[in-house]
Amino acid sequence: MTIPHALAAALSQMPALAELFRLFLSGKHLNRMAEPALWAELEQHEASYVGLFAALGFELRLDARGFAWFHNSEANSNIGKTSRQLALLFMVIFDAQANAGKALQRFTDWLIDSAWLAEVYKQQQDLLDAEGLNPDVLVELLGRACNLGFAMAEPAGWRLLPAVCRYLDHFEGLALTAKTDGDETNAPTEEDWAADAPDDEENT
């Protein structure tokens, strides 16, 4: 059985199809900053990739800030352990940088090393210990963040990637809700930060 000419022609315009499908199916995010060639290919043929993946039952989402992923529209409150821990990790990182006067929207500029991460652990030790996140586990968790396309490893540490915007958007939404309510007693707790975080798990 031969592939219809029209379909063959369409597939020839998507040379990275197999690579992108494997990447997204594994639960990873594609980031323009980390994989510029793949991003350029996806962006150039966005409509074709979105349409083909939709026909296969997957919802591909591209964010103009430079990342893409397979969205799970059936995500619910049963957030996986990794997603909860990542939400908590990013929350304490953003909290520490906000206290240092850093602009949160420029998080891709931050270089996170083990020494700085240890300081963040000291600042939030009670909270992190309650989730079983000691400094060694935080380092392992950043490794998983790399596997999922939320961070990239560098010789001196790690750098967060644009896909972390999914968490930052959620955190800022919670903070805005609390401010709008005007009730200090309704300020977000650590459970709130993680409750509706992106439900992305590494598929092994």
Each residue's pLDDT tens digit, 10-45: 666 788 899 999 999 999 999 999 999 999 999 999
Question: How many domains in the chain?
Answer: 2
Residue 69 carries which DSSP code? E
Would you report the helix, strand and coil content of the chain in percent, each value rounded to 5?
60, 10, 30
143 with 123, same domain? yes
pLDDT of 196 higher than 50: no
Of 72-76, 121-125, 136-140, 148-152, the poorest mean pLDDT is in 72-76
Residue 29 maps to which CATH number?
1.10.10
Query: Which amino acid is residue 169, in one-letter code?
Result: D
106 with 16, same domain? no
Residue 85 lies in a domain: yes
Predicted confidence (pLDDT) per residue in 89-108, tens digit: 999 999 999 999 998 889 99
The more confidently predicted of residues 175 and 141 is: 141
Q: Which domain holds residue 18?
A: 5-71
Give this prediction's pTM.
0.82
CA distance 148 to 94: 19
- CA-based nearest residue to 41, from 69, 20, 64: 20
9 with 94, same domain? no
